Amino acid sequence: MDLYEYQARDLFEKHGVPVLAGIVAETPAEVRAAAEKLGGVTVVKAQVKTGGRGKAGGVKVAKTPADAEEAAKAILGLDIKGHIVKKVMVAAGADIKEEYYFSVLLDRANRSYLSLASYEGGMEIEVLAEERPEALARIEVDPVAGIDLAKATEIATAAKFPAEIIEKVAPVIVKLYGVFAAEDATLVEVNPLVLTGAGDIVALDGKVTLDENAGFRHPEHEALEDKDAADPLEAKAKAHDLNYVKLDGEVGIIGNGAGLVMSTLDVVAYAGERHGGVKPANFLDIGGGASAEVMAAGLDVILGDPQVKSVFVNVFGGITACDAVADGIVKALEILGDSATKPLVVRLDGNRVDEGHAILRGARHPLVTLAETMDDGADKAAALAHTA
């Protein structure tokens, strides 16, 4: 779960990371009041879960409360990479002397943690990594040992921080890792981490991603979820414990296993090139269970997307045999009744596939078409979506 900047700031403050004062506001009047309360120069920052805010006009410096109010009028409602700004954070201005970069993240490929740090912060880290890779230190972090003061010093030294700055920045790195570990995060990033004119190290920005798989350990994290901003179909899928991601296409996809579903997306996209350019409408992994209830929930979510014109069910029978999957599809269509109106192409393979085909043929449901192969199923589903 990605957090807004103000939520990351609050977590930083909770764990002792030095931050500046900040107030969240949703109207220009609230922004003016916040600026008056903070006093002095303030920064009005769009709260969206994407990068590039500054370039899009989502960050403005205000010298007076009136300036802050005008900045809010320009920022609220702004579309930043498809994210509409509904709230801003009014932050106290900082006397910035130098800007740095630090992050710690889950390195899935190496089954470890990875720390990235640079003495040159403030710019997009992707640009720095491409243009001046030598300026970005990459240090592996042992998940058991974590980051203590000695490790933080190693990281800062590798990032070419001067000795006098290392003494200041290393303790802050330790505290940032404390956020990462204590909150079960997969990413904690600060860009920029700044040195102020007073000689203090301050986290001026923050990006945090929490591991939802660890949610049972953090019931307080539920309050951080922005349910209003969530896609309603994704919210419905989550309520049924379905792994669903909405895409911009016309062919609904249901499969079991992330690898199979990803492959299905590819073959549907390829088939769509022959049928008017139709594309996959979603990623939906029903996992190992394909009961009638699970299948009905999956179909209900997909059919709730008005862009969907056809559905491709692609299942490989393993522990859950194909006859059980077929029975689930038939019962799911019975459960959905008249709300099921889009054609379904079903491809089954694996354990008890013949019995599964027999069940579907015997049901004689007018919406169901059988496919022998994944390519055949993708082609039929794309054709149905194109002609709908």
SS3 content of the chain, % helix, strand, coil (to 5): 40, 25, 30
- CA 121-81-259 angle, to 5 degrees, is 90
181 belongs to an annotated ligand binding site: no
d(CA 4, CA 22) in angstroms, rounded, equals 13
256 belongs to an annotated ligand binding site: yes
Q: What mean pLDDT comes out for the span 80-95?
A: 91
Q: Strand, coil or helix: what is 129?
A: helix
| Per-residue pLDDT at 214 exceeds 80 | yes
Confidence of residue 321 (pLDDT cuts 50, 70, 90): confident
pLDDT (tens digit per residue) in 350-387: 999 999 999 999 999 999 999 999 999 999 999 999 99
Mean pLDDT score across all residues of the chain? 92
354 belongs to an annotated ligand binding site: no
| Per-residue pLDDT at 231 exceeds 80 | no
96 belongs to an annotated ligand binding site: no
298 belongs to an annotated ligand binding site: no
pTM for this entry: 0.68
CB-neighbour burial class of residue 263 (10 A; exposed 0-12, middle 13-18, buried 19+): middle
Q: Strand, coil or helix: what is 107?
A: strand
Which single residue is written with the structure tokens 């029903």? 286
pLDDT (tens digit per residue) in 273-314: 999 999 999 999 987 666 677 888 898 899 888 899 999 999
Q: What mean pLDDT comes out for the span 38-42?
A: 96
Q: What mean pLDDT comes out for the span 17-28?
A: 97
3-class SS string, 37-70? HHCCCEEEEECCCCCCCCCCCCEEEECCHHHHHH
| Per-residue pLDDT at 228 exceeds 70 | no
Confidence of residue 80 (pLDDT cuts 50, 70, 90): confident
| Per-residue pLDDT at 249 exceeds 70 | yes
292 or 6: whose pLDDT is higher?
6
Closest Cα to residue 299, out of 221, 386, 201, 367?
367
DSSP letter (8 states) at residue 340: -
Residues pairing with 175 in the sheet: none
319 or 264: whose pLDDT is higher?
264
| Per-residue pLDDT at 72 exceeds 70 | yes
Give catalytic residues, as residue numbers.
Answer: 101, 189
Cα 18 to the chain's mean position, in Å? Answer: 26
| Per-residue pLDDT at 237 exceeds 90 | no
53 belongs to an annotated ligand binding site: yes
Q: What is the pLDDT of residue 229?
A: 65
pLDDT (tens digit per residue) in 109-148: 888 999 999 998 877 777 777 788 888 999 999 999 999 9
